[in-house]
Structure 1
């Protein structure tokens, strides 16, 4: 051995870096109460609670004065059967789906699902002078999703994820920490691990030690949750079942939004709205950045009121927009500057977080000198909410909560009741969203909230937030990163994650003054907005140097983007139904390809994604691309634009031109659509197009449309909705399509009947017979004459069969008989 001293020194350093496990806990006794197993040890209690049949929560009592709640869990325990079995060396806690095995000496736990090993503690809980956390074993080939907003690639094994919500201005191709981290990961072994701790810390996913997953934080709870499922989709649904499901947003939130940093005057804002309609662009919202409350970027934060020099009649402006079907959204921040109009009022109402001496904590940061609203203090949040309520009473329809990490959060801040800034840092945005959601429901019970929030925690989705990916640069790698971010957020419950379409930061601008001219990449802009048409929220946003709104682009760009926005609006029944399904099951609208067939081979793919259950979108993220490789899941798929048929289970290469990105439809899918509208205020389903993608390989399929007034909170719970259910069956040479209407209480805009146009795709020849509700229809090969008359037409060039009929009852049946239907 040539360097024994060096090796010994290295070993000492490694040991020093590892956490201390002195005093590992030893089992003393246990007791089962309900679904909670309480274990007494020689160093305090440990509880293992079956939160549901598919999830265990583990909490260590670390005998501290401070007590922290679970911010992540919704507080509702799902009832399930539990059984306890004691052996000489272990205790087993079983549900119908999972088993937790607790080894007695030293205390250590492992988990399995129906006999399949999932996760095991390596040495379990640890604590030292600076942190507390847990260590788990990883298998050599294990892959991990999750962690929220990061740009690291889909498989995050081998990375350290800082648990520290923070700004990431101008990020592009890599960022290990961003605005919205989530301390949860999903393994390809079919489990999720949630570190239920709000403090600053980190998740080490096998980087420091190859086969160890270590989570730790500087304070907070000593708790984690293990969630299991039969499939990756099941895991997400089981996770949202215990952390909370996202309520439906107002339907208008899914429409086009005009946004920029920023509109400086009422006249400018009015002109932008008018230009959208003049240029034939649908529009549902206009978003005002910080110039609504001050003439400059710095010095005015905390005014929480209009700058009436620039906006002399905001109430009239908001009302005029509302008449056009356009909703107004205002940015707010949780900081009150000492130079703002509200400073003295904030001090008088004790609204600011305090220092160790109990005095309001002031500090300098980018926007000026001031303090931070203590969102954990009911009195402080009451004061802050009152200012928001005043704006909503003026007609404002949505609040954009910015800088909620919070962007500036000195460690010596003390939050109510006695929590240090570092201990609850990652839950600050979560608490802000909770306060806004609860008070909105209290004061505006008939209006769904719109809360666009930059930061939060695990479980914040239950407060109805719409997160976005922050101040992204205008680069091609940054566009590619948006797919990764959207997918990583979706698997931890945050279904409405989206991006500043077109990118926000122009990196070749030397100054952020809103005036410096910068280069504009037209192709990048078009590709980003094409991708955005298939995001949950469509919101172009940018610095002023390059207008984000498509109405300010050249004619070719406007034509391409207009077509995509129009396509989005036509598909609104599909998107709104997917949003409703998310509110019921937790399944996101944007889904990893691995969800399609639960294929672990697609675990790391971010080249494409599922949009809802039946559409696959493959954004073009390479400059000057002439083709795109698309991994198609098993089954038959159709090109949405051309109708061309593809066999799945392989990667296909498709040509791409600037006018389109690849979009595919699953065989057997029902894709509902409406005609063109200029605002979702005019959304109706009384004239409905129902596209069915037929293939002989699909012998049966089902789908549905959810419909309500788009406004009322908890519309399904109140019975103010209806479901349209669709079924197909293909037997020998006959295709059967059934429609049923599940009515409940009447709601505003509910159709008494519907004029249906059913379009069956992939039909090789005109059918021999078409029956609608038992009546034989004549097939016209020259097309339909229009109008609402019942009729059937076959298009040989499009290989489509179109069936028009009025749907007056609760059921309708179509039979198409043709020996030549495509197989």
Structure 2
């Protein structure tokens, strides 16, 4: 590796001095095409604030774009020839092209965001770009790494690979991304999936250098006025994540692994016996073989261990539990499908044109060529057969690929050229074929590895084989925030940790699963020497975590609305605190807490034996979710914790829609809706919304099969008024009338009158009396809670107290 790095630097040094000079330009296909003495450069605008730049040189092999989505819309820019420079501009982004030597700079308004230093270079086995960096510029991104939020000063390998048992430092992991987000509010994405490096001021303090052994010589610049807008502009180019099925937000039973049908059935029953909600069970590799080694590629039920899989799947489904199967892209020569895969021409080849065989941990193997349509046909035929048995979701493992010999040849290129796009292409294969076979059904595709834009294929990534330890828990917020900033909003961790752990660390396990309620996917998973499922632990652990899992289900209306925002704008479900104050660059380094949507701030407990946690709060007033205690934001506060609580704070002025606890999302209904509002005089007006659909129809947003409920509050001294409204295209099962319970937290002012429209609401004598009354109000003066109970038919409505 040291020789390789030195070679790259040496070759790069040889080519930086060469001049490339502008010779002409033309507009073609809504792009600016520039001729130079070194080749052709094409600039293509996507929307008003994104621009792709593609350098082409004769005889330099190119690959297709993997980052740009088919849905990305080209925008014709305006061209101005100013003599020494050429300008290509949209209303918000301007490329200034210096003609000699040829370089490009990018401006938003009058501010220079980014500039090529010597720009493009290519020589023998290296190609890439060099950009200038500002003195105080921070750079986030690069995908999964544990390095701190600001990655400037690091040289990042771009080669997806496993990081088994990682803890508080990891420079190279399962899901690298050749992209950075700058504190100057731009994203720079290199549209190249080859092996390489991204040097963020490590070798030269003021230079960002991308280098690769092959691949596409293209990059994309995205700008935005705010960080959320920047992300939205980025996913408008790379693709937006479609809504997952609602059941994906439930609880999963998962381990490495369930070894028999009897064990799986007993586990699902245990969740029911212990009153834990459950929506899915995941089968690791024992579903197709009795041992870890020798069976990968069978991709069929081991009938000795699972004698009636189709009946088992159907029985689970009747209970509201969906079945997810692991699959890998490796077919062992000892598996039952080896000859079948060879005959179907489904495997990547060696230089001699034969299926490439190599050894790795699980045995001697070949690798499915997901870039080849013939291989795709064969692979999908297996998936479809299993879906016809009732399987609802897929877990794609080892898709870096975990072992990928350099002399492996794929239909799209060599292993070195397309390595980082392998998981991306695998997800695309599954997503596209699923859409063709089941056009109205949302897929569930969990993958360990991918590329920029993988979110458009519904990918649900996770942070890999993390150590089962406190040090494994510590980096999970950093990993999630970094991935979410670049479109991968459903990143999550194996709750409780996966790798190692000889004894059960009860507190660590509880803390990890408590935090998990506020991450996109709730999936405890681990090696089974210690049970990953909470139902198999002691009573105190079960009692604490049962309430957290039920809270997860009660928050479904809120969480599902976060999914809607992600699907329409790319806004991640887990958000960094620097979104709150973009004027404070130091906040970009903060990774001890995060925002769960707009309403919640969550700080995981990542050390043992704590009775309080220091939390940095954004400006405004925040309430402890558990106690109602209030805190003034704008600095650091100490939040008390017990084994039963972690810091969860709610923003003053927040609306949080919830439902009653349910056993599975199959029973989901918002017909009984509990709406919580956190009042404070510092927030005289507030608005929020809630998204609802049937939870399963693919493209519900685009088809108009949904409803949006708008909430607004207006507080004046001792009065507060709420406005409810509904926008709806309608969907099957949509409630026509909702039984509403509006709880106003932090309401200590005396209540003279409660009203619903033009009618006065009667007051119940107690909270218990309110339960048996369809329409009434109750003021719990001791707790400072105001409760308003009523029926709502979806028509515009005003209610409140004065």
TM-score, scaled relative to structure 2? 0.97
Is structure 2 residue 480 aligned with structure 1 residue 469? Answer: no
Is structure 2 residue 149 aligned with structure 1 residue 161? Answer: no
2:506 paired residue among 511, 522, 525:
522
Matched with 1:434 is 428
Give unmatched runs, 5+ long, in structure 2: 1-5
Cα separation, 2, equivalents of 1:79 and 1:312? 54
Cα separation, 2, equivalents of 1:741 and 1:16? 62
Is structure 2 residue 241 aligned with structure 1 residue 246? Answer: yes
Cα separation, 2, equivalents of 1:96 and 1:221? 28
Is structure 2 residue 347 aligned with structure 1 residue 342? Answer: no
Identify if the C-alpha distance between structure 1 residues 407 and 14 changes in structure 2 by more than 3 Å, giving closer, same or farther: closer
Preserved contact between residue 784 and residue 792 of structure 1 (Cα < 8 Å): no
Cα separation, 2, equivalents of 1:563 and 1:390? 38
Matched with 2:3 is none
Cα separation, 1, equivalents of 2:183 and 2:489? 20
* CA shift digits 1:419-449 (9 cap, x unpaired): 1110000000000000000000111122210
* CA shift digits 1:459-488 (9 cap, x unpaired): 000000100001000121210111110000
Cα separation, 1, equivalents of 2:155 and 2:125? 18
Cα separation, 2, equivalents of 1:252 and 1:210? 47
Preserved contact between residue 85 and residue 98 of structure 2 (Cα < 8 Å): yes
Cα deviation, residue 745, structure 1: 2.9
Matched ranges for 1:314-353 at <5 A: 314-353=309-348
* CA shift digits 1:255-296 (9 cap, x unpaired): 000000000000000000000010010000000000000000
User: Pairwise CA RMSD of aligned residues?
Assistant: 1.6
Cα separation, 2, equivalents of 1:793 and 1:59? 65
Matched with 1:543 is 527
Matched with 1:496 is 490
Matched with 1:814 is 799
2:183 paired residue among 184, 188, 194:
188
Identify if the C-alpha distance between structure 1 residues 19 and 429 changes in structure 2 by more than 3 Å, giving closer, same or farther: farther
Is structure 2 residue 656 aligned with structure 1 residue 678? Answer: no
Identify if the C-alpha distance between structure 1 residues 781 and 364 changes in structure 2 by more than 3 Å, giving closer, same or farther: same
Identify if the C-alpha distance between structure 1 residues 197 and 633 changes in structure 2 by more than 3 Å, giving closer, same or farther: same
Cα deviation, residue 17, structure 1: 6.8
Cα deviation, residue 211, structure 1: 1.0
Cα deviation, residue 732, structure 1: 4.7
Preserved contact between residue 781 and residue 794 of structure 1 (Cα < 8 Å): no
1:276 paired residue among 259, 271, 287:
271
Matched with 1:382 is 377
Matched with 2:616 is 631
Cα separation, 1, equivalents of 2:10 and 2:244? 51
Cα separation, 1, equivalents of 2:57 and 2:624? 57
Cα deviation, residue 752, structure 1: 2.0
Cα separation, 2, equivalents of 1:787 and 1:342? 62
Cα deviation, residue 75, structure 1: 3.0
Cα separation, 2, equivalents of 1:808 and 1:626? 46
Cα deviation, residue 595, structure 1: 1.2
Preserved contact between residue 81 and residue 96 of structure 1 (Cα < 8 Å): no
Structure 1 stretch 29-38 or stretch 355-364: which is displaced more?
A: 29-38
Matched ranges for 1:32-181 at <5 A: 32-33=27-28, 35-64=30-59, 66-78=61-73, 80=75, 82-181=77-176
* CA shift digits 1:50-78 (9 cap, x unpaired): 12211111100022364311100103443
* CA shift digits 1:228-266 (9 cap, x unpaired): 111111111110111000000010011000000000000
* CA shift digits 1:508-566 (9 cap, x unpaired): xxxxxxxxxx2111111011001111000000000011110000111111111111111
Preserved contact between residue 686 and residue 754 of structure 1 (Cα < 8 Å): yes
Preserved contact between residue 742 and residue 810 of structure 1 (Cα < 8 Å): no
Is structure 2 residue 684 aligned with structure 1 residue 699? Answer: yes
Is structure 2 residue 295 aligned with structure 1 residue 311? Answer: no
Matched with 1:668 is 653
Cα separation, 2, equivalents of 1:24 and 1:777? 79
* CA shift digits 1:135-168 (9 cap, x unpaired): 1111121111111111111111111111100011
Matched with 1:460 is 454
SS of match in other structure, 1:174: coil
Matched with 1:394 is 389
Preserved contact between residue 774 and residue 790 of structure 2 (Cα < 8 Å): yes
* CA shift digits 1:355-377 (9 cap, x unpaired): 12211111111100010000000
Cα separation, 1, equivalents of 2:352 and 2:783? 75
Matched with 1:584 is 568
* CA shift digits 1:663-714 (9 cap, x unpaired): 1111111100000100000000000000011111112221111111111101
Cα separation, 1, equivalents of 2:7 and 2:727? 70
Cα separation, 1, equivalents of 2:370 and 2:60? 21
SS of match in other structure, 1:415: coil
1:24 paired residue among 2, 10, 19:
19
Cα separation, 2, equivalents of 1:13 and 1:396? 47
* CA shift digits 1:13-51 (9 cap, x unpaired): 987773522432100011123541111001211011112
SS of match in other structure, 1:660: coil
* CA shift digits 1:573-593 (9 cap, x unpaired): 000010011101110101111
Cα deviation, residue 636, structure 1: 1.4
Structure 1 stretch 593-602 or stretch 159-168: which is displaced more?
A: 593-602
2:476 paired residue among 467, 482, 492:
482
Cα separation, 1, equivalents of 2:366 and 2:9? 42
Identify if the C-alpha distance between structure 1 residues 374 and 16 changes in structure 2 by more than 3 Å, giving closer, same or farther: closer
1:608 paired residue among 589, 593, 611:
593
Preserved contact between residue 327 and residue 396 of structure 1 (Cα < 8 Å): yes
Identify if the C-alpha distance between structure 1 residues 225 and 809 changes in structure 2 by more than 3 Å, giving closer, same or farther: closer
SS of match in other structure, 1:716: helix
Cα separation, 1, equivalents of 2:792 and 2:14? 68
Cα separation, 2, equivalents of 1:746 and 1:20? 60
Cα deviation, residue 783, structure 1: 2.4
Cα separation, 1, equivalents of 2:62 and 2:137? 35
Structure 1 stretch 309-318 or stretch 51-60: which is displaced more?
A: 51-60
Is structure 2 residue 758 aligned with structure 1 residue 774? Answer: yes
Cα separation, 2, equivalents of 1:145 and 1:625? 30
SS of match in other structure, 1:442: helix
Cα separation, 2, equivalents of 1:495 and 1:256? 18
Structure 1 stretch 34-43 or stretch 436-445: which is displaced more?
A: 34-43
Give unmatched runs, 5+ long, in structure 1: 1-10, 508-517, 818-823
Cα separation, 1, equivalents of 2:114 and 2:60? 31
Alignment length, in residue pairs?
795
User: Which runs of 4 or more aligned residues in structure 1 lie more than 6 Å from their structure 2 counterparts after TM superposition?
Assistant: 11-17
